[in-house]
Amino acid sequence: MLHLQPKKLPTVLEASLILLLTVSLISFFIIEMQSVPHVPILLGIFIMLSYGAIKKMSFEHLQRGMVQGAQTGIGAVLLFFLIGILISSWMASGTIPALMNVAFSLAGGPWFLAITFAVTALVGIALGSSFTTAATVGVALMGVGQTMDVSLAMIAGAVVSGAFFGDKMSPLSDTTNLASTVVGVDLFDHIKNMAWTTIPAFIITFILFAFLSPDQQSGSEKLASFQNNLVEAGLIHWTSWLPIIVLVLLTINKRPAFLSLAISSLTATLIAGFRGVMDWSALWGTWFNGYTAETNSEAVNQLLSRGGMNSMLFTVSLVLLALTLGGLFFATGVIPSILKKVQQSLNSVRSATVTTALTAIGINIAIGEQYLSILLTGEAYKSAYQKAKLARKNLSRTLEDAGTVINPLVPWSVCGVFLSGVLGVPVLEYLPFAFFCLLSPLLTIVFGWTGKTMTPSTKDHVQPLKQANG
């Protein structure tokens, strides 16, 4: 969206003040007034339109910025609708209940939160999608948590942490491929280099969740009773595992996420239909309205009644508004002005990593889109790293450490809105427990500051940046 910027950029001070005003307004409404994010983001759009008018920018230019900003999220919007369908169809076919049944068995042992984190991490690596992981295994584990004396915010934090570990380290992940492609680094070199920060973050996170996990016997009788009611509902069948198998096979074969989710949803729907779970007209209706369970247990009904495109409309509307605001930040030159200034401040190995990380975090907060945080930051600082005696994989690692995993911690971001809707826990509630997402940028900044694990470039003609202590 850099081509949207006006011919004359505002000063850095002016751009910083207008950005701070808008983000502060949104934060105040969400945190202090407990408002739904739609209202303050719409007010932010009004502020930016007014600012553009004051700067004598044509409405056509500003409108083009809004449209192109919203267009960046169309792919995500389509996936959101499909994930809503996936959840409802997987409920009807017994796929998510089958996952819950397995999770109940795991919950009977110690370290439930740590196991939740580890399981979602493994599934995330296998699927390469934090959204799909959270919407399937994550939903199942959240359901188990409803029957235990465990904070749902903690469970959501464990699910988000595991899902984004997998999203970050999987060769099938969009963000992982994007970060390596933007910088021009081999995909597997990029993944291996991320291990320096990602593995310590994983270990620390696992230990923290092990300490926070409830006692092994906590709520064991209630848990067993709930599991029995779930099994007696009659949804779980050997065919319930087929939609998962289909999804994994399609993912391994690198089929597009849209097609993988669509085919898995169709598979689940056909399984539910041929098994006679419900009549065909009602079954297809669940694609929009979601699945409604009708068992003898009210608790099970509440747990299994979810999904459908309708459940994603809140998320979709918020994502489009947030990205529209992001488009205005570019059209008015606010973001380009700040990017240009910070790009010029790279004069040491230390500042290269720290500035890159803070820029990726800042774009996530301002725009709420993780792809743009990786793309824009990578493009802005690639030349600086090439002029430095730093291998490009240092840049790609920082992009993921501070770009990919920060997005779910922003209430108005694409990931934050989606996860809070699917898991049923507000972003600000699970944020303190999303340990992996908090540790990753911290570790990358520490390693960049100290120079540890930073790989030098092998090109002799490259001119080095000043040393960190220079």
Better pLDDT: 155 or 449: 155
Q: How far apart are CA 22 and CA 26, in angstroms?
A: 6
Query: Whose CA is closest to 98, among 87, 90, 86?
Result: 90
49 in a structural domain: no
Instruction: Indicate the angle between helix axes 174-183 and 152-169, nearest 10 degrees.
Output: 40
Check if the beta carbon of residue 85 is closer than 8 Å to that of residue 309: yes
**153-167, 360-374, 437-451: which range is least confident on average?**
360-374
Percent of the chain predicted with pLDDT > 70: 89
Q: How far apart are CA 164 and CA 194, in angstroms?
A: 13
Check if the beta carbon of residue 448 is closer than 8 Å to that of residue 354: yes
At residue 137, the pLDDT reads 81
Say yes or no to pLDDT of 281 above 70: yes
Enclosing domain of residue 238: 75-312
CB-based contacts of 309, cutoff 8 Å, min separation 6: 81, 84, 85, 287, 288
Q: Give the tokens for residue 271.
A: 């399984």
Check if the beta carbon of residue 30 is closer than 8 Å to that of residue 40: yes
Q: How far apart are CA 428 and CA 266, in angstroms?
A: 35
The mean predicted confidence, pLDDT, of the chain is 82
* In the block, residue with structure tokens 């680094």: 185
At residue 159, the pLDDT reads 94
Say yes or no to pLDDT of 468 above 50: no
* In the block, residue with structure tokens 């060769």: 171
Check if the beta carbon of residue 324 is closer than 8 Å to that of residue 96: no
pLDDT in tens, 205-246: 999 999 988 765 555 566 677 778 778 878 888 999 999 899
Check if the beta carbon of residue 293 is closer than 8 Å to that of residue 304: yes
Q: Give the tokens for residue 445.
A: 């900044």
Q: How far apart are CA 114 and CA 124, in angstroms?
A: 15
If pLDDT is split at 50, 70 and 90, which confidence band does 463 have? very low
At residue 172, the pLDDT reads 65
Sign of the dihedral defined by the CA atoms of residues 455, 459, 460, 464, in that order: negative
If pLDDT is split at 50, 70 and 90, which confidence band does 101 have? confident
pLDDT in tens, 283-328: 999 999 989 888 777 767 877 788 889 988 887 887 788 788 888 9
Q: How far apart are CA 399 and CA 311, in angstroms?
A: 32
- CA angle 365/370/374 to nearest 5° reads 105
At residue 461, the pLDDT reads 39
200 in a structural domain: yes
Percent of the chain predicted with pLDDT > 90: 25
pLDDT in tens, 391-402: 888 888 988 998
* In the block, residue with structure tokens 């969400």: 30
329 in a structural domain: no
Check if the beta carbon of residue 402 is closer than 8 Å to that of residue 129: no
Query: Whose CA is closest to 96, among 142, 136, 146?
Result: 136
284 in a structural domain: yes
301 in a structural domain: yes
Better pLDDT: 114 or 380: 114
346 in a structural domain: no
If pLDDT is split at 50, 70 and 90, which confidence band does 26 have? confident
459 in a structural domain: no
Q: Which residues of 225-248 are buried (b: 16+ CB within 10 A; e: fewer)?
A: ebbebbbebebbbebbbbbbebbe
113 in a structural domain: yes
Instruction: Report the number of distinct structural domains present in the chain.
Output: 1
Q: How far apart are CA 27 and CA 40, in angstroms?
A: 8
Which stretches of 184-256 are DSSP H helices?
187-212, 220-232, 242-252
Q: How far apart are CA 13 and CA 122, in angstroms?
A: 45
Three-state DSSP class for residue 390:
coil
pLDDT in tens, 410-424: 988 888 988 998 898
If pLDDT is split at 50, 70 and 90, which confidence band does 465 have? very low
Say yes or no to pLDDT of 388 above 80: no
* In the block, residue with structure tokens 């999904």: 307
pLDDT in tens, 136-160: 788 888 877 777 778 899 999 999 9
At residue 125, the pLDDT reads 83
* In the block, residue with structure tokens 């509307």: 317
